[in-house]
Structure 1
Amino acid sequence: MYIIKVKGAAKIPDYVQLRDEKFTLLAYFRVDRPDKSLEKIGLGDKTEWIMDKIKDLPFGQILKLEI
C-alpha cells in the first residue's frame, strides 16, 4: 500500500490518498478526519499507526507501507 499526502490550497484542506500495489485509489480523506475512510477499507484498527506515518510525511512524497 502507498500513502500520498496532498497539500491543499486556500480553502481546500490537506488530503491523504491510500493506493494499492497497482496504484488504484483505496481511500481519499482529509488529514484531520481519517476515521470513516480507514474503517471502510478495513484498516480501522491501524488508524493511529497510519496517522503517525502521515504526520511525518512531506507533502507530495510517496511512502510505501507494508501492512
Structure 2
Amino acid sequence: MYIIKVKGVAKIPDYVQLRDEQFTLLAYFRVDRPEKSLDKIGLSDKADYIMNLIKELPFGQIMKLEL
C-alpha cells in the first residue's frame, strides 16, 4: 500500500491518498478527518500509526506503507 500527501491551496484542504500495489485508489481523505475513510477500508485499528506517518511525510512524495 502507498500513501501520498497532497497539499491543498486556498480554500481546498490538504488530502491523503491511500493506494494499493497496482496503484488503485483505496481511500481519499482530508488530513484532519481520516476516521471514516480508514474505517471503511478496514484500517481503523491502525489509524494512529498511519496518521503519525502522514504527519512526517512531505507533500507530494509517495511512501510505501508496510502493515
Do the structures match in fold with TM over 0.5?
yes
Q: Which residue of 1 aligns with 2:40?
A: 40
**C-alpha RMSD over aligned residues:** 0.3
* Equivalenced residues, count: 67
The offset of 1:61, in angstroms, is 0.2
Quote the Cα distance in structure 1 between the aligned partners of 2:66 and 2:52.
14
Quote the Cα distance in structure 1 between the aligned partners of 2:49 and 2:16.
14
* Structure 2: tracts of 5 or more residues without a match: none
Q: How does 1:13-32 map to 2 (within 5 A)?
A: 13-32=13-32
* Structure 1: tracts of 5 or more residues without a match: none
* Runs of 4+ deviating beyond 2 Å: none
Identity of aligned pairs, percent?
Answer: 81
SS of the residue corresponding to residue 39 of structure 1 reads helix
Quote the Cα distance in structure 2 between the aligned partners of 1:42 and 1:48.
13
Q: TM-score, normalised by structure 1?
A: 0.99
